[in-house]
Amino acid sequence: MDQNLDQNESDDYQDQEEELDDNMFDDPEDFVDDITDEELMDDMLAQRPEEDTSLDNIIVVDNAPIVGPDRLSKLKGVLKKIFQRFGEIVTEFYPVNENNETKGYFFMEFATHDEAVAAVNTGNGYRLDKSHIFAVYFFTDFEKYETLPTEWSPPKKEEYKEKGNLWSWLLNPDCHDQYSVIHNAGATVSVFTNTNTEPKLVMTRENWTDTYVRWSPQGTYLATFHKQGIALWGAEDFKRLGRFSHTGVSLIDFSPDERYLVTFRKALQENDSESLVIWDIKTGAKKRSFAASDATDWPIIKWSHDGKYFARLSADRLSVYETSTFYMLDKKSIVVPSIKDFSWSPTDNTIAYWVPEIGQIPAKVTLIEIPSRNEIRTKNLFLVQDCRMQWHKQGDYLCVKINRWATKSKKNLTYTFEIFRMRQALIPVDTIEMKDQPILSFGLEPYGTKFAVLHGEPPGRISFSCYELSHKGAGSSISRIKTMERKPTNQIFWCPKGKFLVLAGLKGMDGQLEFYDAESSEFILMQSSEHGMATDLEWDPTGRYVVTSVSFWSQKMDTGFIVWSFQGRQLYKNPVTLDKFCQLLWRPRPLTLLSAEDIKNIKKNSKKYHHQFDAQDRLGREKASQVIIDKRRKMMDEFSRFRHRKAQEFETAKRPTDYVEPELDEESDFEDLFILENEETEELT
């Protein structure tokens, strides 16, 4: 019985203790908790996903390989390598079935929504292999498709968005062209309007591009490079007109009609089918993609002059595609064993390609018409080491530079040019032999019949030769009209309109420039100039101006550019504000709407407008001179006011009114007094 009482007392004590413990942790009735969760767990709450945005960062990838546990880790490594190019992968999930095999789809969450968008746009349609082509969607798409209304309703008409005048720069009353400049070591891009005296700033932006910029062939768009892809800009204020997501893009190209954009990135893995992509510029749609291991021979895709066809090389094949369907022409490629290179005519749907020697079969250059694929000319060549093709701007000639072995033992090289006359019956071919003189540069005159070549051993034995490609009726001939020896140049630059050329010593030479009038057979030297250490030269679209430049990308000292007239007169240098200059590109002009007859009449009657143009040029120079004078006078006035103000401040602070002359000790020498005065003056100042 005593034991029962002890047990009861123990139970009562335990109940009282539990009740006491509960009461110890109870809050008073009037207690108010004013401590927030952020104060207690700020580090954990910072990682809390937001309900409105977290699902937008998740993608679903379908048509993935189905593998077991033994191959799952390898599959994860391959897939992660592909998709981490689009951004930071936060989490990934691979569902498995009852046999621990993957179900053929997986989930990935990116750090930002923009990275998920890039993964969907670029990853959708990615070919992992022949049996697995990814279908990539947003996770939120499933919810959207589940809640689709059962009754159809017509789509809302999209509001028209005004893009502005894409050719606004052509409305300049003085017909001044524009050019883009990359400076500040690549951090800043500016667009200027060119004048005879100094450039006028149109637009400047910091971090506009990650690498470089490029104009479209007709000057409508300015393309900039970014981590996620390409952006196109245009109109009066250079607003963004399009974005194309292609992570890691490094090279681009346009179709001649500016309808399509080609982007290239380094392949993520072997047979990456998304390394080369063709986009529709107007709609932003992806039209076709290809696998490309590298871009050594860029451009990989080459366009016909009208943009109706494009072609690319593959193993022993030349594949031609139609842009109307983006499928191969006649559903088959042109089989050409060991084909090396090809090129489209700039005015006709004609392709020229060459193949090297194969055993006893000679090398050859072949011309074929598209879409018929008819061979219209073939030229056999022997002992060929290499070929390089160049078309005349109007398609009148095809020039093929050939490096030949002098003997079958292949010890020494000789050099020849084969000139195909495209406008004559049966396309005759003329030959120019240069023998053992290496070719440094060559070029056909645009809108003309001249052919120029630099040949010889640099630096002191370089010669310049010019030939006339004349033809009368069915006959034709090539005659040398000029030869100049010991030229300090290594490149030829024809004016885009012909008649003038510049011989330049660039990249490793002293920057010597020689401006020639090539219209006459005498080849008149108009001006000799110099731009030390120049690395680049470019004509403007009209042929009135030439720019030479020293790029920061090539060397770090004395960077900048100089604008010259076509006669070799220096007009101006780059402004001092353009520090660490990198690149200058003239904005191209669209094709003229005038016929050949209209242009001929304008040239014939040009003397009628000669005095009018001279008067406008004089007036422009006078206005420019007055502007420069006013600018310098304003700067001088500002400097005078600044100097006067500083002089007054100096007189006021030089010696205060309560200054006491120090007593000179008899034993002190002149040096001690001088030190004392300096110390006091510095202290007062």
Report the pLDDT averaged over residues 32-58: 61
Q: Residue 216: what pLDDT?
A: 96
Give 341's contacts (C-beta < 8 A, 6+ positions apart). 297, 313, 353, 354, 387, 389
Q: Are the C-beta atoms of residues 376 and 398 closer than 8 Å to each other?
A: no
Q: Supply the DSSP string of 445-457, one letter for each residue.
A: PTTS-EEEEEEEE
In this structure, are residues 212 and 189 in contact, taking their beta carbons and an 8 Å threshold? no
Within 8 A by CB and 6+ apart from 511, the residues are 504, 505, 530, 531, 532, 533, 534, 548
Total residue count of the chain as it appears in this document = 685
Look at the block and give the residue holding tokens 């040239």. 603
- Cβ-contact 107, 118 below 8 angstroms: no
| pLDDT value at residue 301 | 94
Half-sphere exposure of 451 (CA within 13 A, CB side): 25
DSSP secondary structure string for all residues of 65-121: PP--HHHHHHHHHHHHHHHTTSS-EEEEE--B-TTS-B-SEEEEEESSHHHHHHHHH
**Cα(26)–Cα(453) distance, integer angstroms:** 99
| pLDDT higher than threshold 80 for residue 84 | yes
Distance CA 134, CA 454 (A): 53
Query: What digits encode the pLDDT tens for the residues 481-520?
Result: 989 998 999 999 999 999 999 999 998 788 999 999 998 7
pLDDT of residue 508: 79
Residue with more model confidence, 421 or 162: 421
Q: Which of 122-126, 330-334, 474-478 has the lowest mean pLDDT?
A: 474-478
- CA angle (682 as vertex; 679, 685 as ends), nearest 5: 150
pLDDT of residue 2: 47
Highest mean pLDDT among 140-144, 410-414, 586-590: 586-590
pLDDT 10s digits, 99-126:
889 999 999 999 888 888 888 887 888 8
The confidence band for 251, taking pLDDT boundaries of 50, 70 and 90, is very high
User: 3-state DSSP call for residue 22?
Assistant: helix
Query: Does 459 sit behind a cis peptide bond, omega within 30 degrees of 0 on the bond before it?
Result: yes
Distance CA 7, CA 17 (A): 15
The answer to whether residue 49 scores a pLDDT higher than 90 is no
Q: What is the mean pLDDT of the chain?
A: 84
Report the pLDDT value the prediction gives residue 684, as an integer from 0 to 100: 41
Task: Say how far apart CA 518 and CA 449 lie, in whole Å.
Answer: 11
Give the pLDDT mean for 206-213: 94
The residue behind tokens 């640099």 is 458
Indicate if the pLDDT at residue 22 is higher than 90.
no
Q: Choose the weakest-confidence range: 211-220, 327-336, 553-562, 619-628.
A: 619-628
Answer yes or no: is pLDDT of 4 > 70. Answer: no
Mean pLDDT across 264-270: 84
Question: What is the fold of 54-146?
Answer: Alpha-Beta Plaits (3.30.70)
pLDDT tens, 436-454?
A: 889 999 999 998 999 999 9
The first and second tokens of residue 426, run together, are 């049966």
Pairing of strands 249-254, 239-245: unpaired
- Name the segment(s) of the chain with CATH classification 3.30.70.330: 54-146
> What mean pLDDT comes out for the span 556-585?
91
Whether 37 shows a pLDDT value over 70: the answer reads no
DSSP symbol at 358 = B
Rounded mean pLDDT, 279-288: 91
Number of H helices, E strands in the chain: 9, 42
Answer yes or no: is pLDDT of 20 > 60.
Answer: no
CA 258 to chain centre: 15
Residues 369 and 350: beta-carbon distance below 8 Å: yes
Q: Look at residue 39 in the predicted model and tell me its pLDDT.
A: 55
User: For residue 637, what are the contacts with CB-CB under 8 A and spacing of at least 6?
Assistant: none
Q: For 392-551, where are the alpha helices, taking DSSP H only? A: none
The position carrying tokens 């993957």 is 102
pLDDT at 52: 47
Q: What is the pLDDT of residues 653-680, one digit of tens each?
A: 876 655 555 554 544 444 444 444 444 4
Contact 231, 210 (CB under 8 A): no
Regarding pTM above 0.85, the answer is no
Which uninterrupted H or E stretch holds 144? helix 140-146
The mean per-residue pLDDT over the stretch 579-584 comes to 93
The 3-state secondary structure of 368-382, one letter per residue: EECCCCCEEEEEEEC
CA distance 526 to 501: 10
